[in-house]
Amino acid sequence: MPHNAQQLFSARYGDASLPAPAAWSSVIEHLLNHRSVRAYLPDPVSDDQLAAIVAGAQSASSSSNLQVWSVVAVRDPARRAKLATLAAGQSHVADAPLQLVWIADLARLELLTQTNQRPSGALDYFEAFLTAAIDAALAAQNAAAAAESLGLGVVFIGSMRDKPEEVAKLLELPPKTVALFGLCVGKPNPAQPADIKPRLPQSVVLHHERYSLDAQKPGIEAYNAAMARFYEQQKMNVRGTWAVHSSKRVAGPESLSGRDKLVEAFRARGFALK
**Which pLDDT belongs to residue 24?**
96
Rounded Cα distance between 162 and 262, Å, is 8
Q: Are 144 and 183 in contact (CB under 8 A)?
A: yes
Instruction: Pick left, alpha or beta for residue 47 (phi over 0 → left; psi -120 to 50 → alpha; otherwise beta).
Output: alpha
**Which pLDDT belongs to residue 110?**
98
Write the CB contacts of 111 (distance below 8 Å, at least 6 apart in sequence): none
Alpha-carbon Rg for the chain in angstroms: 20
Helices of type H across the chain: 5-13, 26-32, 47-58, 77-86, 91-95, 107-115, 126-149, 164-171, 202-205, 217-233, 242-249, 262-268
Domain 47-193+257-268: give its CATH superfamily. Answer: NADH Oxidase (3.40.109.10)
**Which pLDDT belongs to residue 1?**
67
Output b/e per residue, 240-253; b: 16+ Cβ within 10 A: ebbeeeeeeeeeee
Q: What is the 8-class DSSP label of residue 252?
A: S
Write the CB contacts of 197 (distance below 8 Å, at least 6 apart in sequence): 35, 36, 230
**Which pLDDT belongs to residue 271?**
98
Helix (H) or strand (E) holding 70: strand 69-74
**Which pLDDT belongs to residue 51?**
98
Q: Are 97 and 111 in contact (CB under 8 A)?
A: no
Q: CB-hemisphere CA count at 13 Å for 98?
A: 25
One-letter amino acid identity for 191? Answer: A
**Which pLDDT belongs to residue 125?**
98
Rounded Cα distance between 211 and 222, Å, is 20
Three-point CA angle 185, 188, 192, nearest 5°: 135
Range(s) of the chain covered by CATH 3.40.109.10: 47-193+257-268
Q: Give the residue ranges of the chain where pLDDT is below 50.
A: none
Burial class (CB in 10 A: 0-12, 13-18, 19+), 124: middle
Q: pTM for the full model?
A: 0.96
